[in-house]
Structure 1
Amino acid sequence: MIRVLLADDQALLRSTFSMLIDSEDDLTVVAEAANGAEAVDLAQRHRPDVVLMDIRMPVLDGLAATRQICSDPGLAGTRVLILTTFESDEHVAHALRAGASGFLGKDVSPAGLLDGIRTVVGGEALLSPAATRVLVNRFLASPDGIGDLPRGLLPSLTDREREITGLAAHGLSNQQIAERLVVSPLTVRTHVQRAMTKLGARDRAQLVVIAYQEGLVRTA
């Protein structure tokens, strides 16, 4: 069972998402937070698999709450999925730096929301082409780079792992990579997971960040 924490200051939206999520056999909402401070507290108490996190909330905003959750060793298994009305440069940059695993628009379809939750739990990031462009053009180009992520570990990857990491950094899903390389999605997933382990990446989003940081892929 995938355990979900909802964090949004709009009660109606929380209620809508909660009913949708609880209607699925493999998903359940364990708690709801109306602000970022509550989100951090409830995450520490319930240890959910995924936090659906709004950015603009009172008391503590979603970015600060994401940073606290993702830096807590006790919540290493928790993924944060940002809910946003648009993918602004600053939101994408700061959310990824804080440790978020991806983004969903608040106008996401029911199927898209459910798929998104399952995707990040599976270790993949939800980085749309727009978010990936922001990641490259603003986040990685910033003077202070990407903080404490590891460097100099690319030589530890096999040729196949480097190839697949590069394709992932260009925004391809496991299925798309599998089709391009004529291998199974499971094979791609295995290579991605091994690359993440070797590079010390928390999830696929950080794997993409490291790929650009290390020059495995470059901006156009």
Structure 2
Amino acid sequence: MRTEAEWLDNPVITEGLPVALAETLAMTVGSAAITALLGVVVGVLLHNSSPGGIAPRPGLNRVLGGVVNLGRSLPFLILMIAIIPFTRFVAGTTVGWRAMIVPLTIGAVPFFARLVETSLREVSSGKVEAATMMGATRWDVTRKVLLPEALPGIVAGLTTTVIALIGYSAMAGAVGGGGLGATAMSYGYNRFQTDVMIAAVVLLVVVVQLVQVTGDRVARAVDHR
């Protein structure tokens, strides 16, 4: 069994892993920020255009729902390969953590959008009807009733999405995206450095736990029901 000194003598652990962790965090934060914005927009459109929404649009709802379902049905690895030309067009390259933000975002938006839609459906219809009777416009109902009431669920959904993105980022790293996944694959698997693999796994577990704890606290803080 390796001693602490032997672990610290490994430059991959002492120098490579901090860089890999920073790349994983950069991928996750970048894609999560874009996903949060686009996912809320798509989720609101899905909810409001549904038959029970405040602005029913059956045609739009079917088309948008079909696109979202298609995005959710594709495994991330296949999606990442399928959109290589688009990734190159947007990022100028298909390797590195910056390029991976593109497929990570495209893979996460449909997932988060459905979670947003589900949270909006749980808002009491009585509150929506009361706001409508008081003369509130659809925009007002969405901004002042639906989103605030659904905020705890949206935050919880975003937490789940960010954790999924961390897992996706590790997968992306194994195929040229950098980050902890690339380090674990290159050194822990290909070069049989078990200590590197263990250290990478521990870092991922710690990051996921921090995200979950933070998300839970924020969800409770914004829940005024």
TM-score range, shorter chain: under 0.3
Normalised by the length of structure 1, the TM-score is 0.24
Report the structure number with the largest CA radius of gyration: 2
TM-score under structure 2 normalisation?
A: 0.24
More strand by share: 1
* Higher percent of residues as helix: 2
